Structure 1
Amino acid sequence: MAGRIVRWGAVLGLGAVWWWAVLRLAVAPDAGALEGAVAAGGWGLSLLPVHCVPRGHAAGSLGKAAWRAACGTATRASPRPRSDGGSGLS
């Protein structure tokens, strides 16, 4: 229970600081680098994929063998070298 309270307190506190920085950038003529850094940092954190899980733990995920079977050999380069060794069209 205490962990949940601390977590919500941190979320609300950091959210309030981020909104303060964004509003200050929007309306205050003397807003500077600190407000810009806080606003950009908060926005950048929103882009992180925090809800991702490893492929093996995801519901309905495919294993490596299933991916190989689904992709086949169409996505792999030809194992045989060209006769002239050049990089032109084959």
Structure 2
Amino acid sequence: MAGRIVRWGVALGLGALWWWAVLRLAVGRGSGVLEAAFVAGGWGLSLLPVHCVPKARATGAVPEGRWGAAWRAGEVTRASPHPRSGEVSDPS
């Protein structure tokens, strides 16, 4: 329980500092490199993929070897058993 409170406190504190830096950059005349670096760092952290799952469990994930087979075949349609609209499938 104490660990959760500490994590939330740190997250809220850093969030408040980040918003302070954003507002200081947007409104204040005395802002500088420190605020800009803090804002850019916080924004960069928001781009981290925190909702990742293993490829085997991902919805719509391409199976292993599909792209390699398409590359070796020379075109994507040969790697798929289903031809695209208007194409004739290879009888061989």
Q: What TM-score range do you get, normalising by the shorter chain?
A: 0.5 to 0.7
The TM-score with structure 1 as length reference comes to 0.67
1:75-90 superposed matches below 5 A: 75-76=71-72
Deviation string 1:13-60 (CA, Å, 9 cap, x unpaired) is 00000000000001111100000001000000000112223335x366
**Structure-1 separation of matches of 2:24 and 2:5:** 28
In structure 2, the gaps of 5 or more residues are: 75-92
- Tell me the secondary structure at the aligned position of residue 70 of structure 2: coil
Match of 1:46 in 2: 46
Change (3 A) 1:76 1:35: same
Give the Cα separation in 2 of the matches to 1:61 and 1:6. Answer: 38
What is the aligned partner in structure 2 of residue 55 from structure 1?
55
CA–CA separation in structure 1 for the residues paired with 2:68 and 2:43? 40
Work out which of the residue numbers 50, 64, 67 in structure 2 matches 1:67: 64
Using CA pairs below 8 Å that are at least 6 residues apart, which structure has the higher relative contact order? Answer: 1
* SS of match in other structure, 2:72: coil
Percent identity, aligned pairs only, is: 66
Unaligned stretches of 5+ residues in structure 1: 79-90
Hey, what's the Cα distance between the residues in 2 that align with 1:20 and 1:72?
A: 49
With normalisation by structure 2, the TM-score equals 0.65
**RMSD of Structure 2 on Structure 1 (CA):** 2.5
Aligned twin of 2:5: 5
* Distance in 2 (alpha carbons) for counterparts of 1:8 and 1:22: 21
